[in-house]
Amino acid sequence: MARLIDTHAHLNSRQFREDLEQVLARARSAGVGMIINVGSDESDSERAVMQSEEYPQLWAAVGIHPHFAATVSPSFRNKLASLATNRRVLAIGEMGLDFYRELSPRHLQEEVFREQLELAAELKKPVIIHSREAHAETLQVLREMRPPQSGVAHCFSGSPKELAAFLELGFYISIAGPVTYPRSQELRLLLKEIPADRLLLETDAPYLAPLPYRGKRNEPAFIKKTYEQVALTLEMEPEALARQVQANAVRLFWA
C-alpha cells in the first residue's frame, strides 16, 4: 500500500516541543511515511533542518513567511542558502505574500519574496508559495520571476481563474484540512478542476485540522481524514489517490 505524504507541516513549531516523538509515532500508525517540515523564519528553518537529520520521517524546506519579512536579518538569504546545502532540504519556502493580516509591510513582503525566488533559481530547488488575499500580486511576481523548478501553491483556496493561472505556470496545487469542512463546497468543486498529476495534500499542522478534529492542534496523523475526503470527492479509491499524491510529491520534491 502506498504511504501517505504530508507535504506541508510545521513540526518545528513550539506546539510540538513536548511530544514530537509521539506525534511522529501517531503519524506512522496512520500510514504517513514522509512529512515535509516547512520553515517560516530563519530560526525555525534551522530547526526544521535539525529535526530532519534526527528523524528519518522528516524532510525540510527553508524559507521566510511573509509575516516575518520585516524582521529578517540582513544576511537571511545567505543563511537560507547555507541551510539548503543539507541533503534533507527539498525546497525553499514557505514564501509569498499575505495581505490579509499584513504583519509586514507589503513592499517588504515582496522584496523578501523576490530574493527567495532568486535563491531557489540559483539552487535549482522548487518553491513553496503562501498567498492569502494576494493571489493577483503573487501571480504577477511569479510571472516575472518564473521559478525554473516550479513549486506548489500551498493550502490553496483561490478562484478557478487563479487555479488556472498557477497551473499555467507549472505549479502543483496543495489541498489541506478545510476541504473537509461543511461550508467548503466551493473548494471541493475546485478540487475537481485540479489535474490528477498536479495534486498534493497537506496538513499545515498545527493549523487547519480537518474534521472531526477541527479546533484542535493539527498533526500529520490527521491527514488521513483529508485523503479520505478528497478520495470521496474525486470518486477515487483511497489507494489510487495515495499512489497519485505520492508520485506527484516525488516528482516535485525528490526527482
pLDDT at 254: 95
Cell of 108: 517588504
Bridge partner residues of 152 (DSSP): 128, 172
* pLDDT at 2 (0 to 100): 80
Q: For residue 101, what pLDDT is reported?
A: 85
Please report the beta strands in 57-191, taking only residues with DSSP state E, as ranges in sequence order.
58-62, 89-98, 127-132, 151-153, 172-175
In eight-state DSSP terms, residue 217 is P
| Model-wide pTM > 0.95 | yes
- Domains of the chain as residue ranges with CATH: 4-254 (3.20.20.140)
Bridge partner list, 174: 200
How far is residue 66's CA from residue 103's CA, in Å, rounded to a whole number?
8
**What's the number of CA atoms in the CB half-sphere (13 Å) around residue 174?**
27
Give first-to-last CA distance, the chain, whole Å. Answer: 21
The confidence score (pLDDT) of residue 1 equals 64
Which 3 state secondary structure label does DSSP give 103? coil
In angstroms, the CA 129 to CA 126 distance is 10
Specify the amino acid at residue 58: L
Q: How many residues does this entry show for the chain?
A: 255
Dist CA 114 CA 210 (whole Å): 32
pLDDT in tens, the chain (255 residues): 689 999 999 999 999 999 999 999 999 999 999 999 999 999 999 999 999 999 999 999 999 999 999 999 999 999 999 999 999 999 999 999 999 888 999 999 999 999 999 999 999 999 999 999 999 999 999 999 998 889 999 999 999 999 999 999 999 999 999 999 999 999 999 999 999 999 999 999 999 999 999 999 999 999 999 999 999 999 999 999 999 999 999 999 998
